[in-house]
Amino acid sequence: MKRIAIIAMPVMLLLSACGSSTGDRALSGGAIGAAGGAIVGAFTGTPATGALIGAGAGALTGALTSPSTINLGKPAWR
Rounded Cα distance between 66 and 9, Å, is 20
The region of weakest confidence among 20-24, 32-36, 42-46, 68-72 is 68-72
What would you measure as the largest C-alpha separation in the chain, in angstroms?
37
**Mean of per-residue pLDDT scores for the chain:** 76
Q: In Å, what is the CA distance from 60 to each residue of 16, 26, 44? A: 10, 6, 23
Counts for the chain of helices (H) and strands (E), in that order: 3, 0
pLDDT at 46: 86
State mean pLDDT over 47-62.
Answer: 88
% of residues, the chain, pLDDT over 70 = 62
